[in-house]
Amino acid sequence: MSEPILNTLDLSRHFGALRAVDAVTLEFAPGRVHAIIGPNGAGKTTLINLLSGDLKPSSGSIRFKGQDITGAPPYVVSRLGVGRSYQKTNIFPAFTCFENCWLGAQSRERTSMRFLRPARRYRSVRERTERALALCGLTERAHVVSSAISHGEQRQLEIGMMLATEPELLLLDEPLAGMGAEEAARVIGLLRELAADHTLILIEHDMDAVFAVADRLTVMVNGRVLETGDPQDIRASPAVQEAYLGSGEGGG
């Protein structure tokens, strides 16, 4: 296997006595779609929060492209090339779609770019914003206030805001949550497109979506990794069947 783009070693996060993430050691291969599944409360979002720097680990370590990023704040992790989307939509409702993506594009501004003339800097941020809007399929909605677009479009915008930071690795926390079948199909198409030139870590309850896009699958239960493998092997695993897949796919 090639060098992982990201890996964790014995990564844990406790909330009081609760071990939300408990000694998780995982490797994520570059260019692949690695899905993380598991029942409600398994620790999936907490794991993403640790990887993105939104939460600090209680113990253990995280490496991204060979660099120790354990405990690094979110803006540092983002500038290194890790983007994330949130399980609960995290847009600015009073702003237009364009303005929401602009904020993402602006946040990626490198220190070195401050030496560029303001007009050039403005142009590069605007180009990143327009690229992100096109990728997430919202070019036609660019100047609509984001509180006025549909729930599905708001979820697309959430992905657009992440793409505006031009990440190499995408952390997606239930991108299909609350979507109708048609919207979900559109976003699954987008995920496949993004998979061509990004690494994806995808949390998703929709098993059809998971099996449609994932190259690799990890099952988490009670903060721990139950099993990691190829989707077909995981689907056939008796331990996984019993803990998760057998019982109506977890809901959620």
Ligand X SMILES: Nc1ncnc2c1ncn2[C@@H]1O[C@H](COP(=O)(O)OP(=O)(O)OP(=O)(O)O)[C@@H](O)[C@H]1O
Supply the minimum distance, in Å, between the C-beta of residue 44 and Mg ion: 5
| 18 binding partner (options ligand X, Mg ion, none; Cβ < 5 to 8 Å by kind) | ligand X
| 42 binding partner (options Mg ion, ligand X, none; Cβ < 5 to 8 Å by kind) | ligand X
Complex with ligand X: residue 64 or 86, whichever CB lies closer: 86
226 near ligand X, rule: CB under 6 A: no
Asked if residue 223 lies in contact with residue 19, where contact means CB atoms within 8 angstroms, the answer is yes
Give the count of residues interacting with ligand X (CB under 6 A): 13
Tokens of 117: 């003339």
Residue number, nearest CB to Mg ion: 45
E strands present in the chain: 6-15, 18-28, 33-37, 59-64, 67-68, 82-85, 169-173, 199-203, 216-221, 224-229
Separation between Cα atoms, residue 21 and residue 146, nearest integer Å: 34
- Give the one residue of 21, 37, 42, 45 binding Mg ion; rule: CB under 5 A: 45
Given the DSSP bridges, would you call strands 82-85 and 67-68 parallel, antiparallel or unpaired?
unpaired
Burial of residue 16 (number of CB atoms within 10 Å: 0-12, 13-18, 19+): exposed
Give the count of residues interacting with Mg ion (CB under 5 A): 3
8 near ligand X, rule: CB under 6 A: no
The residue ranges that bind ligand X (CB under 6 A) are 15, 18, 20, 38, 40-46, 87, 252
The residue ranges that bind Mg ion (CB under 5 A) are 44-45, 87
